[in-house]
A and B are shown apart, each in its own frame.
Chain A
Amino acid sequence: MSQIIKVGMADLNICVSPDGITTLGLGSCVGIAVRDPVTKIGGLAHIMLPDSTEIKNNSNIPKFADTGIEELIKQIVAKGASRSRLVAKIAGGAQMFAFQSSNNAMRVGDRNVQATLKKLKEMNIPVLAQDTGDSYGRTVIFYPENGNFVIRAVGKPEKTI
């Protein structure tokens, strides 16, 4: 019997096929799904902020793109996935309010996406697909079995990337 593992805000977890893994209502946060297509071991991180080095109180590893992605990869590899085969898909990073502002805090969705892409590139993990930006929330479900990343939003048809 397969199950769907839940990941909260500023949280991460790993998942082995046939199980799936989900996080509900990504807003400006970014969901990062990673898997090894051969062993079908994967995981999902729900990060809130781009950079742990910008914040004094930074002990919460899954909260930041940089430390969260590192930890996710570490756990997936520890479970038996091949580091060199890992691939990623990402979603989220919306701007929930149409704020006309140069205020950094309001642009955090976009900054989260940029930081996520940068970190994945640094770690040589290809990003196969992304559904980011815009102004609406997303629920995502990831299946390490086939790499399907299912995205649901209010008033929009479900899509798979």
Chain B
Amino acid sequence: MGEMSLDNLSSQYFDVLKELGNIGAGNATTALAQMIGTKVDMSVPQVRLLDFKDVGDMMGGAEKIMAGIYLAVEGDIDGSIMFLLGKQAARHLVDKLMGTGAKPEDQEFDEVEMSALKEVGNIITGSYLNSLSMMTNLKLVPSVPYVAIDMAAAILSVPAIQFGMMGDKILLIETQFFDELKLSGYFILLPDMDGYKKILSSLGMGDIDV
């Protein structure tokens, strides 16, 4: 059996990961709609395997200010999950959740709003993990959420470094949500390499030799 790496993932495995991303993001959208109490539509998620060099140019530029919500995952798989969205999108969701009415897009988040943002991330990633857990029968236990608001590339350095221990690419799932606004959200699921094997084999893709 060859050393597994994401860099030479076959199209078959890529399709499976894509489908997991699809279903996970679908459930996350439902959770989001329930949370903010409006109908939310979702585009078909795009799954991308990116070179590190190109990471910065994703999401509208390396210096675009994003909100990143990060949770560690334990249980049958060790890893982490991150949900990223633009600061303006984060502002929009927080205002909706708090029912305070729209504030200026560039207004900083106060302490209560930061907690609300953590909760947004918690619910979205939680429903994503739930669907993954149901499909694979693996136990996935997330930590409390951590938030950072900073340049896209700086936030992405955290998952990129974790991917960097396994290979030279990063796997990103991009989803667009629509309520009144179009919001782009990105999921990054980071199991360790054993985790990928467990996920794929639990879906009946047994003898992995990628």
Contacts and interface: CB of A to CB of B under 8 A. Distances in A.
A136 B153 CA distance: 11
Contacts of A56: 3
B39 to A, nearest CB: 32
A11 interface: yes
Contacts of A8: 52-56
Contacts of B108: 155
B158 A25 contact: no
B13 interface: no
Interface residues on A, range: 20 to 34
A99 B72 CA distance: 9
A29 B161 contact: yes
B196 interface: no
A155 B108 CA distance: 10
Nearest to A97: B146
A103 B162 CA distance: 12
Contact of A57 (B153, B156, B162, B167): B167
Interface of chain B, helix or strand or loop or mixed? mixed
B194 interface: no
B168 A25 contact: no
Contacts, number: 113
A101 interface: yes
Interface in A85-101: 94, 96-99, 101
Contact of B53 (A10, A27, A155): A10
A49 interface: yes
A3 to B, nearest CB: 18
B134 interface: no
Contact of A94 (B62, B154, B165, B166): B154
Contacts of B142: none
A103 B147 CA distance: 18
A25 B65 contact: no
Interface residues on B, range: 35 or more
Contact of B55 (A9, A26, A49, A101): A9
Given A48-B164, A154-B151, A96 B53 contact: no
Contacts of B157: 9, 25-29, 48, 96, 137
Contact of A63 (B61, B147, B154, B164): B164
A155 B151 CA distance: 11
A50 B109 CA distance: 34
B161 A105 contact: yes
A134 B160 CA distance: 19
Contact of A25 (B52, B72, B147, B151): B151
A115 interface: no
10 contacts: A9-B53, A24-B61, A27-B151, A27-B154, A28-B158, A48-B52, A48-B160, A48-B161, A101-B72, A105-B161
Interface of B: 3, 5, 7, 52-56, 61-63, 65, 68, 70, 72, 108, 146-158, 160-162, 164-168
Given A105-B165, A154-B149, 17 more contacts: A8-B53, A9-B55, A11-B52, A11-B53, A25-B56, A25-B152, A28-B158, A29-B161, A48-B157, A48-B164, A49-B161, A57-B166, A63-B168, A97-B68, A101-B72, A137-B154, A137-B155
